[in-house]
């Protein structure tokens, strides 16, 4: 039972969700064609789609339950964002990337692209985890999905980037968009001792969060290969991603123990940083023939992620008042930047003819990173300013990191 002084969402939440859902249904009814026979060959890739689905719904959902008082919201809000964002992403993709004069066809490939396009919103929600209600998250999802799709459109249409590479900017976009929103909506007192106490985890919540990490770890090779068409590229992406994940995991365990004064492992390092290898190799895994290259990238990403979680996070909170609940900057942001830079370096050093073309591609790769950073941070700041509006009934600071204002908790009601 929520406290009496908490803002009720009984009116605005149902109105907002039903309005959006009715709008989506009308778009599918009048403006989208459904020809499921159009992509029969793509059904062979259904296992990869299924893996991505598990990674997003189960993996991210449990990854966000490490807060001991925010478990219901961590899992539940993740599912809401995924279900809402999938529909919006498919619609945006059909209109921006579909034929201008022909029928806008949706199918299994559209679902896969839609699911992968939801990932930046889920990453962003980790940065603001515990500080926003479901209405704010829905508004943020609608704005971020539009901004991310526009970012992909610019890269593929004007910078001639491939579909796979444009999608791999997901991690950079989601991390820095979420940080921009968090910086805008967070009060300086969010880092006080009272809120730090509510941010603590417990053994059960840490175990469930680690379960989410394990599922993401297992299915990340499918995420890095789901949009590829060439058999050789798919094989390279799967094998290189798995090797890189293994290297980053060993690296995290090594340095987590090294950086601890008593030589013990810290679960926050393992839970967050072991994914750094999969994130960083998404740009290059499909094009690399020798696994030692991506394994080296995974080692660097694992080291930087662990170092940042150990020494950089607290300093960032105190100096810049940038509060990152889940540490998405170190799990997705920095590894994503490492992957983007590695992509340009590998292109430049590749033993090909036509160095002018390769140089242009490398410059475009770096330019795409700056484009993603600019669009994500500017749109994130604008979103944060919008979400501070009282129309969305933002939670008070004393409601941060708690399920009680948003969920009916029978185990607490019985004791009142």
pLDDT band for position 104 (cuts 50, 70, 90): confident
- Is residue 348 in a domain? yes
pLDDT band for position 376 (cuts 50, 70, 90): very high
- pLDDT beyond 60 at 357: no
Q: How confident is the model at residue 45, as a pLDDT?
A: 76
pLDDT in tens, 235-252: 999 999 999 999 999 999
Give the 3-state DSSP-derived string for the chain, with helices as H, strands as E and coil as C: CCCCCCCCCCCHHHHHHHHHHHHHHHHHHHCCEECHHHHCHHHHHHHHHHHHHHHHHHHHHHHCCCCCCCHHHHHHHHHHHHHHHHHHHHHHHHHHHCCCCCCCEECHHHHHHHHHHHHHHHHHHHHCCCCCCHHHHHHHHHHHHHHHHHHHHHHHHCCCCCHHHHHHCHHHHHHHHHHHHHHHHCCHHHHCHHHHHHCCCCHHHHHHHHHHHHHHHHHHHHHCCCCCCCHHHHHHHHHHHHHHHHHHHHHHHHHHHHHCCCCCCCHHHHHHHCCHHHHHCCCCCCCCCCHHHHHHHHHHHHHHHHHHHHHHHHHHHHHHCCCCCCCHHHHHHHHHHHHHHHHHHHHHHCCCCCHHHHHHHHHHHHHHHHHHHHHHHHHHHHHHHHHCCHHHCCCCHHHCCCCCCCCCCHHHHCCC
- pLDDT beyond 50 at 416: no
Q: How confident is the model at residue 330, as a pLDDT?
A: 93
Segment 6-35 shows an average pLDDT of 87
pLDDT in tens, 44-64: 778 889 999 999 999 999 999
- Is residue 415 in a domain? no
pLDDT band for position 396 (cuts 50, 70, 90): confident
Residue 383 structure tokens: 């979103």
- Is residue 19 in a domain? no
Segment 175-191 shows an average pLDDT of 84
Q: How confident is the model at residue 315, as a pLDDT?
A: 73
- pLDDT beyond 80 at 385: yes
- Cα–Cα dist 358/113, whole Å: 27
Tally of domains within the chain: 1
- pLDDT beyond 90 at 136: yes
- Is residue 11 in a domain? no
Q: How confident is the model at residue 27, as a pLDDT?
A: 92
Residue 209 structure tokens: 């969060």
- Cα–Cα dist 107/130, whole Å: 35
**pLDDT averaged over the chain?**
88
- Cα–Cα dist 288/244, whole Å: 12
Q: How confident is the model at residue 38, as a pLDDT?
A: 56
Segment 116-123 shows an average pLDDT of 96
Greatest Cα pair distance, the chain, in angstroms, is: 75
Q: How confident is the model at residue 189, as a pLDDT?
A: 59
pTM of the model: 0.92
Q: How confident is the model at residue 256, as a pLDDT?
A: 94
- Cα–Cα dist 324/313, whole Å: 8
Which one has a higher pLDDT value, 34 or 363? Answer: 363
Q: How confident is the model at residue 2, as a pLDDT?
A: 47
- Cα–Cα dist 205/61, whole Å: 12
Structural domain of 176: 47-408
Segment 193-217 shows an average pLDDT of 86
Is-contact 266 252, C-beta < 8 A?
Answer: no
pLDDT in tens, 268-299: 999 999 999 999 999 999 999 899 999 999 99
Q: How confident is the model at residue 30, as a pLDDT?
A: 85
pLDDT band for position 37 (cuts 50, 70, 90): low
- Is residue 28 in a domain? no
- pLDDT beyond 60 at 266: yes
34 forms beta bridges with: 106
Q: How confident is the model at residue 412, as a pLDDT?
A: 53
Q: How confident is the model at residue 52, as a pLDDT?
A: 95
Q: How confident is the model at residue 208, as a pLDDT?
A: 94
Q: How confident is the model at residue 105, as a pLDDT?
A: 76
pLDDT band for position 414 (cuts 50, 70, 90): very low
33 forms beta bridges with: 105
Please, which residues have CB within 8 angstroms of residue 56's CB and are 6 or more apart in sequence? 82, 115, 118, 119, 122
- Cα–Cα dist 25/278, whole Å: 35
- Is residue 22 in a domain? no
Q: How confident is the model at residue 397, as a pLDDT?
A: 81
Q: Of 129-133, 191-195, 380-384, which gets the smallest average pLDDT?
A: 191-195
Distance between first and last Cα of the chain: 9
Q: How confident is the model at residue 108, as a pLDDT?
A: 82
Domain CATH code at residue 164: 1.10.3430.10
- Is residue 40 in a domain? no
- pLDDT beyond 80 at 307: yes
- Is residue 25 in a domain? no
């Amino acid at each position: 039972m929520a406290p009496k002084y908490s803002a009720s969402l009984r009116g605005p939440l149902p109105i907002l969700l039903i309005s959006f859902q009715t709008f989506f249904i009308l778009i599918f009814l009048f403006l989208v064609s459904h020809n499921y026979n159009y992509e029969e060959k793509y059904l062979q890739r259904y296992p990869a789609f299924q893996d991505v689905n598990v990674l997003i719904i189960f993996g991210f959902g449990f990854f966000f339950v490490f807060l001991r008082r925010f478990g219901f919201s961590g899992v539940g809000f993740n599912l809401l964002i995924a279900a809402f964002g999938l529909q919006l992403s498919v619609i945006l993709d059909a209109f921006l990337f579909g034929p201008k004069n022909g029928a806008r066809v949706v199918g299994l490939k559209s679902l896969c692209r839609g699911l992968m396009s939801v990932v930046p919103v889920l990453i962003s929600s980790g940065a603001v985890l515990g500080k926003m209600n479901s209405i704010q998250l829905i508004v943020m999802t609608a704005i971020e999905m539009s901004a991310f799709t526009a970012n992909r459109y610019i890269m593929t249409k004007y910078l001639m980037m491939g579909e796979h590479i444009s999608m791999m900017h997901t991690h950079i976009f989601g991390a820095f968009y979420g940080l921009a929103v968090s910086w805008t909506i967070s009060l300086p007192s969010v880092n006080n001792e009272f809120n730090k106490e509510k941010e603590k985890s417990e053994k059960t919540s840490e175990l469930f969060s680690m379960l989410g990490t394990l599922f993401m770890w297992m299915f990340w090779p499918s995420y890095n290969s789901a949009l590829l068409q060439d058999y050789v590229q798919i094989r390279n992406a799967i094998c290189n991603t798995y090797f890189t994940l293994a290297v980053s995991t060993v690296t995290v365990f090594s340095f987590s123990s090294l950086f601890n004064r008593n030589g013990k492992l810290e679960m926050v390092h393992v839970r967050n940083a072991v994914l750094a290898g999969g994130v960083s190799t998404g740009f290059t895994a499909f094009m690399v023939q020798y696994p030692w290259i991506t394994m080296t990238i995974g080692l660097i990403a694992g080291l930087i992620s662990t170092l940042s979680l150990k020494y950089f996070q607290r300093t960032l909170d105190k100096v810049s008042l940038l509060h990152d609940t889940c540490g998405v900057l170190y799990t997705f942001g920095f590894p994503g930047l490492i992957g983007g830079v590695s992509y340009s370096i590998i292109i430049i050093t590749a033993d090909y003819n036509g160095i002018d073309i390769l140089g242009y591609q490398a410059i475009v790769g770096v330019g795409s990173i700056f484009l993603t950073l600019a669009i994500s941070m500017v749109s994130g700041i604008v979103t944060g300013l919008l979400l501070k509006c009282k129309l969305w009934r933002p939670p008070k600071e004393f409601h941060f990191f708690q399920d009680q204002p948003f969920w009916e908790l029978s185990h607490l009601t019985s004791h009142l």
